[in-house]
Amino acid sequence: MSISNGVNIWEIILSPLIALIIGIFFLGLARKIIARIHWRYGPPITQPVIDIIRMFSQKGISHGFIFDIGIILSLTGSFIVILFLPLGKMCPLSSGGLLAILYLMLLAPLGIALSSGEAANPNSSIGISRKFLLALGYEVPLLLILLAVMTHYNTISLIEIVRIQSTTGWSFGSLPLLLSGIAYFLILPAILGIRPFEVVGAAQEISSGPNAEFGGKFLAFSTIQHALHEFIGISLFVNLFLGGWGLFGILEPITNTVWSVIFGIIIFFIKMLIVFIVELFINAVFPRFRIEQAVRYLWKWPTLFAFIGLIVVVVVK
């Protein structure tokens, strides 16, 4: 079944669903692994699902119209970004490529900001201001990295970038893009909002920040949005630098079949899992930056790497 210009309706339904499952699985996995690092038994891996069921059954307290709309806006924003991201070989919306993703990624924090601003909790306001400062911190290197990648592959289409990687090898392994890859890996904790960049939702400092006034179904939406956000951050890294669905030409014999799509998703998931677990270890052992330290760090090393990477790419070309 397909609509006019090659948009597959199954992909539009399946892609966000798989992203949601992977995101929530990552939340549960994070709690379990961190518990094991603490020498605890830890919650069951389905704990986020239980939490979300519990939150939906609790009565949410609304603070006004904008409060309701903001969280929906942020959730919608995250779902739309996922439609633009290749998930294995599935990519429901491909026009616009990286520029569209970059533009739409701003919707999610904006929605949360609207919502928390309406709640008028001082902790939420501090959290929101920190969120935007942190975004300002990692957007600069992120733009430089994307510019380097786009210059190197001479295209803005993410699908095209992944396809070229499947023939020429991963960009993380290619010499010109190595520095950009390292820079992206360094800012990935900031994008995911985990330690050492857990300044936004710091429960001990500012009562979980933007989430401070969310209860009931609003908190459930916020948790789902968080799961999707984690998915977006990691899958962008996997698509840009780890070759997306490509794995040493393993899918060559079964190209253009349903199996290639399914195995593409599985390979993609395994790559994401490895990146996520490495990030989790960083999260488990590091303390938290203060916001000005975080921004100073982000504007120093990752930006430096990204800038040199861009110059290298231009010179090599």
Partner 1 sequence: MDRNQLKKWFKSPAKMGHKYSLHVIYFCTGCGIIEIPPSITTRWDAERFGIIPVATPRQANLFLITGYVSVKTLKPIIRTYEQMPDPKFTVGFGSCPINGGMYWDSYNTIKHLDKYIPIDGWIAGCMPRPEAIFIAVTHLWTLIDKEMADGYKKYRENYKYYRANQEQLYGKLEWPPLFAGKDKK
54 binds partner 1 (CB under 8 A): yes
Residue with Cβ nearer partner 1 (78 or 123): 123
Residue 85 CA to residue 22 CA, distance in Å, equals 14
Contact stretch for partner 1 (CB under 8 A) within 21-29, 177-185, 212-220, 273-281: 212-220
Provide the β-strand partners of residue 234. Answer: none
Question: Smallest distance from the beta carbon of 123 to partner 1, in angstroms?
Answer: 8
What token pair was written down for 284?
């488990």
Residue 301: which residues within 8 A CB-CB, separation 6 or more? Answer: 186
234 touches 276 (CB < 8 A): yes
Q: What is the closest distance, in whole angstroms, from the C-beta atom of residue 53 to partner 1 in the complex? A: 4
Amino acid at 190: A
The single residue among 83, 128, 219, 236 that binds partner 1, judged by CB under 8 A, is 219
Exactly one of 44, 64, 122, 169 binds partner 1 (CB under 8 A); that residue is 44
Query: Would you list the DSSP string of the chain?
Result: -EETTTEEHHHHHHHHHHHHHHHHHHHHHHHHHHHHHTT-----TTHHHHHHHHHHHSPP----HHHHHHHHHHHHHHHHHHHHS-BTTB-S--TTHHHHHHHHTTHHHHHHHHHHHHHT-HHHHHHHHHHHHHHHHHHHHHHHHHHHHHHHHT---HHHHHHHHHHH--TTTSTTTHHHHHHHHHHHHHHHT-TTSTTTT-HHHHTTGGGGG--THHHHHHHHHHHHHHHHHHHHHHHHHS-TT-STTTTGGGTTSHHHHHHHHHHHHHHHHHHHHHHHHHHHH--PPPHHHHHHHHHHHHHHHHHHHHHHHHHH-
182 binds partner 1 (CB under 8 A): no
35 binding partner 1? (CB under 8 A): yes
Report if residue 290 touches partner 1, rule: CB under 8 A. no
Residue with Cβ nearer partner 1 (50 or 136): 50
Q: How far is the CB of 272 from partner 1 (least distance, A)?
A: 25
Judged by CB under 8 A, the chain residues 91 through 130 that form the site for partner 1 are 123
31 binds partner 1 (CB under 8 A): yes
Tell me the closest approach of the beta carbon of residue 223 to partner 1, in angstroms: 10
Among 1, 4, 5, 41, binds partner 1 (CB under 8 A): 41
Determine which residue in the list 8, 94, 166, 207 makes contact with partner 1, applying CB under 8 A.
207
Which of 203, 277, 311, 316: binder of partner 1 (CB under 8 A)? 203
Sole binder of partner 1 in the list 211, 235, 283, 303 (CB under 8 A): 211
Q: Which of 118, 139, 213, 230 binds partner 1 (CB under 8 A)?
A: 213
**How many residues form the binding site for partner 1 (CB under 8 A)?**
32
- Could you say whether residue 198 binds partner 1 (CB under 8 A)? no
Residue 78 exposed, middle or buried by CB count within 10 Å (0-12, 13-18, 19+): buried
For partner 1, which is the closer residue by CB, 2 or 46?
Answer: 46
Least distance to partner 1, CB of residue 170, Å: 37
What is the nearest approach in angstroms of partner 1 to the Cβ of residue 245?
33
Give least dist CB 174 to partner 1, A.
43
- Give the footprint of partner 1 on this chain (CB under 8 A): 31, 35, 38-44, 47, 50-51, 53-54, 56-61, 123, 203-204, 207-208, 211-216, 219
